[in-house]
Each structure stands twice: as structure tokens, then as C-alpha cells.
């Protein structure tokens, strides 16, 4: 998936666990100009607990990513992909607020992979995200997808995700 991006922006990934956000984020970062980095809540959960899917570490991971995002927006030199579920308007607003404070546009990429696929992808993980968590993420995103265009994003891209894994 190719997305035309502003020169300096934040790309906010949204979708349930197993939707293919990280794979898509890597593709976006590879083709974006100027240099684009990815900050992932999974990566920070891994650093904090040794497990990228340890949901109890999410608040610390979110705090770390938001601190880095704030510094990156302030620098004005690179773009960032924020890789996380962002399934509710409140979760998306936190990133929007940071970027907007620095006048950096935010592009939303919502990965709307079917729930059954997201759940099936958990089977290949050493530590799967619990089915009720994945279902809640999916439901929250789908409940708000019709009004996501009103949240303040510079652009919104909806996709059904990447090919089967």
C-alpha cells in the first residue's frame, strides 16, 4: 500500500492486534521521504517486560512512545509511524494532541482486517493477545470508524490489511 505523505508528519496506525499494522508500518516507513522511524508499543513492552504482548506494560509503553513522539515533532526533522492499536478516539487523540502542539500533521491508517483473521493470527504467537482483548480492540475501532474523519487527521486511509500470515 502506497500512501502519499506530507514531508514531515506522524502516521498513526490503528487496528486490532493481529491486523497487520506492524507489517504495513514497515512498508510505509520504507517508502516514505524524508527519513521515517517507527515507534511501537510492542517494542516498548518488550523492552520493559521481555514480552511485546504483555498488556500490563501498555501504560509504560505508551508513555515512552509519547515522550519520543513529542521530541521528534519538536525537532521537525523526521517523520514517525506510531504503531499501536489506537482503537478508541481517546487513544488517537493523545497522539493528535502531541503532534498538533508542534503543528505536525497526523495521517491515520486504520487496518480493518476481519476479526476472525486477527484472532487466527494470535495462534502463531508464542504469547498471544487474549481473544477478549482482540475482540474489544476490533469492536472499539469498528464502532468509531464512521466518524474517524471528524477527529482532526490531515488524511484518513482505510485498508483491510496485508496478505495472510
pLDDT value of residue 94 = 96
Q: Do the domain assignments include residue 42? A: yes
Return the C-alpha cell found at 22.
506492524
Q: What distance in Å separates the CA atoms of residue 42 and residue 38, rounded to the nearest whole number?
A: 11
- Average pLDDT for the chain: 91
Report the percentage of the chain scoring pLDDT > 70: 96
Count of structural domains, the chain: 1
d(C-alpha 145, C-alpha 20), whole Å: 17
Lowest mean pLDDT among 7-11, 15-19, 34-38, 106-110: 34-38
C-alpha cell at 148: 474517524
Query: Is the pLDDT assigned to residue 163 strictly greater than 60?
Result: no
Burial class from Cβ neighbours inside 10 Å (0-12, 13-18, 19+) for residue 76 reads exposed
Helix (H, G, I), strand (E, B) or coil at 107: strand
pLDDT in tens, 41-77: 999 999 999 988 888 999 999 999 999 999 999 988 7
Ramachandran region of residue 134, left (φ > 0), alpha (ψ -120 to 50) or beta?
alpha
How far does Cα 27 stand from its chain's mean position?
A: 13
CATH of the domain at 139: 3.40.50.300
Q: Cell 475482540 sits at which residue?
A: 135
Look at residue 165 and tell me if it is in a domain: no
- The answer as to whether 164 is a domain residue is no
Does residue 3 form part of some domain?
Answer: no
The residue ranking higher by pLDDT, 41 or 34, is: 41
Is residue 107 a part of any domain in this protein?
A: yes
Range of the domain at 51: 10-159
Flag the least confident range among 29-33, 54-58, 119-123. Answer: 29-33
Contact between 93 and 19 (Cβ < 8 Å): no
Cis amide linkage into residue 93, ω under 30° from 0? no
pLDDT in tens, 105-119: 999 999 999 999 999
Residue 33 has what pLDDT? 63
Amino acid at each position: 500500500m502506497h500512501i502519499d505523505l506530507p514531508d514531515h508528519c506522524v502516521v498513526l496506525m490503528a487496528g486490532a492486534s493481529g491486523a497487520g499494522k506492524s507489517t504495513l508500518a514497515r512498508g510505509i516507513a520504507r517508502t516514505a521521504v524524508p527519513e521515517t522511524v517507527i515507534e511501537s508499543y510492542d517494542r516498548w513492552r518488550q523492552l520493559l517486560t521481555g514480552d511485546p504482548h504483555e498488556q500490563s506494560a501498555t501504560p509504560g509503553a505508551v508513555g515512552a512512545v509519547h515522550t519520543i513522539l513529542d521530541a521528534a515533532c519538536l525537532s521537525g526533522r523526521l517523520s514517525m509511524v506510531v504503531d499501536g492499536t489506537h482503537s478508541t478516539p481517546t487513544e488517537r487523540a493523545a497522539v493528535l494532541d502531541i503532534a498538533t502542539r508542534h503543528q505536525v500533521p497526523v495521517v491515520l491508517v486504520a487496518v480493518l482486517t476481519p476479526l476472525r483473521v486477527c484472532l487466527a493470527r494470535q495462534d502463531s504467537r508464542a504469547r498471544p493477545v487474549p481473544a477478549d482483548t482482540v475482540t474489544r480492540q476490533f469492536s472499539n475501532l469498528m464502532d468509531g470508524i464512521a466518524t474517524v474523519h471528524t477527529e482532526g487527521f490531515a488524511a484518513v486511509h482505510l485498508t483491510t490489511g496485508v496478505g495472510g500470515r
